[in-house]
Structure 1
Amino acid sequence: MTVIDPRLTMERRLLKEHSLVIACDEVGRGALAGPVAVGAVVLDAPRSRKRVPQGLRDSKLVPEARRGEVAARAEAWVAASAVGWASAADIDQIGIMRALGLAALRALDDLRTVGVVPEEAIVLLDGNYDYITPAGGAGLHVQPVVKADRDCASAAAASVLAKVQRDALMIELHDETPAYVWARNKGYASLAHRAAIREHGLSRHHRASWSIRDAPTLF
């Protein structure tokens, strides 16, 4: 498989029309347990002229052992960053797409606390669907971009930062409920995770609506 290094072509073009680019990407969408997280990073024109941090790629393409150092370089490169969360209970209550929007809005609210005004930026969102605006993001300028986490360095930075923080949380939750082996599977549907659900049932951190819905195929 050919690995594509993310570039800043789109960000530089967008920064000719907007003062800031806020790139967002989610992690944990397909997991059976744990929250979904949306990373958000802020890029301005001066930083867009700097070299892309070494090793920065979509988090799925960065080896787990290296993600921490890559995330640290990414965080130092961008103007500001945040990770927003929606819990398993949120997902059960409002559904995954609205939960993604909620997590994104929480990340953007965290950016506001350091002086970022999201309404003055263009929000570059990985994917083909704007889940932010329907969740309450009226007034934001959201531009979905398919494969942004692969092609755009800012979205790759958001992906890595969110992945590192979510993985760290799932490792903490593993200590609380080690039977599900979250330190390894991070809440995704591994064979060991599915076997543990069959034996022990669901924990409070599981997305019950997902597990019940998918039970025939998962278990």
Structure 2
Amino acid sequence: MTEVFNNRVKNPTSDYENELLAVYDRVIGVDEAGRGAIAGPVAVGAQLLTLTEPPTFPTGLRDSKLLIPRRREAVYEELARASTGAVGFTSPAIIDSEGIIAGLAAAAIAALRKLLRKSPAALLNAVILLDGKHDWLTPVITAEFTAAPRVITRVGADSACTVVAAASVRAKVARDRLMCTLAQELPEYLWQNNKGYGSAAHYQAIVDHGVTPQHRVSWIR
């Protein structure tokens, strides 16, 4: 069952996660990056929070969209050192052939599998806190995992909830770094600047040089 909450709080806290930890042993924050891009993969971040081994979240942690790049990178590095999380990706080809929701689902499963390799008990008596109002995750995790965690959706969770803000930073920075690497291979598209989104310069590069295997062809108009 999925519950939907509304919250516009800009500074995240762990208050709601602590309420969940009174019922569950673990909370996993989930958020995505690159959903609206026309090139590059979609990324889904997963951040683990447990009552017995709570992570030390970085000072200044916020929704990735509210952090300047330099600060976002610093927060990411602190998260990597002091907490357990993972990021999964889905290729443009799968997004083109199966759609963005299937792409998000595949990236989330990849992230959760990575999380399980780091923390084998991560899904035991766990709840997933998913940013947004659409629960695209429950159908795939119930198919993939024998004891699938419950999913709770919350609008604005990336701004209100520390564990989801952390997931958003993980997804955003990991994807941005990948796009910068891809930009070295295909510099004409300026992915180090636009991160695969549809800027004017990016569209002009497509006109001049065509599409690549990193483009979501069905998204280019």
Q: TM-score, normalised by structure 2?
A: 0.89
**Matching residue of 1:183:** 192
Q: Distance in 1 between matches of 2:112 and 2:57?
A: 23
For the pair 1:106 / 2:104, whether they are aligned, the reply is: no
For 2:4, the equivalent position in structure 1 comes to none
* Conserved 8 A contact 2:48-2:122: no
Which of the residues 133, 147, 157 maps onto 2:166?
Answer: 157
Equivalent position amino acid for 2:41 in 1: P
Q: Are the aligned partners of 1:56 and 1:74 in contact in 2 as well (CA < 8 Å)? A: no
Of 85, 89, 98, which residue of structure 2 is paired with 1:85? 89
Work out which of the residue numbers 60, 68, 76 in structure 1 matches 2:65: 60
Which amino acid counterpart does residue 212 of structure 2 have in structure 1?
A: S
Q: SS of the residue aligned with 2:212?
A: coil
Which of these residues, 16, 19, 28, is aligned with residue 25 of structure 2?
Answer: 19
Amino acid corresponding to residue 216 of structure 2 in structure 1? R
Which amino acid in 2 is paired with 1:99? G
Q: Structure 2: how far apart are the matches of 1:205 and 1:10? A: 38
The alignment status of 1:123 with 2:132, answered yes or no, reads no
Which residues of structure 1 form unaligned runs of 5+? none
The alignment partner of 1:6 has SS state of coil
TM-score, L = length of structure 1: 0.90
In 1, are the aligned partners of 2:56 and 2:82 still within 8 Å (CA)? no
User: Residues 6 and 136 from structure 1, CA distance in 2 versus in 1: closer, same or farther, beyond 3 angstroms?
Assistant: closer
Structure 2 distance, partners of 1:119, 1:208, is 39
What amino acid is aligned across from residue 166 of structure 1 in structure 2? R
Deviations 1:126-151 (A, max 9, x none): 11111112234343311111111000
Structure 2 counterpart of 1:44, one-letter code: T
RMSD: 1.7
Report SS of the residue matched to 2:172: helix
2:40 aligns with 34
Aligned residues: 209
**C-alpha contact 2:46 2:111 (8 A) present in aligned 1:** yes
Q: Which position in structure 2 is the counterpart of 1:9?
A: 15
CA distance change for structure 1 residues 104 and 192 in 2, over 3 Å: closer, same or farther?
A: same
* Bigger mean CA offset, 177-186 vs 116-125: 116-125
Distance 1:187 1:170, change over 3 A: same
167-176 vs 129-138, which deviates more?
Answer: 129-138
Percent identity of equivalent pairs: 45
Alignment partner, residue 142 of structure 1: 151
Segments of 5+ residues of structure 2 without an aligned counterpart are: 1-7
> Which secondary structure does the structure 2 equivalent of 1:57 belong to?
coil
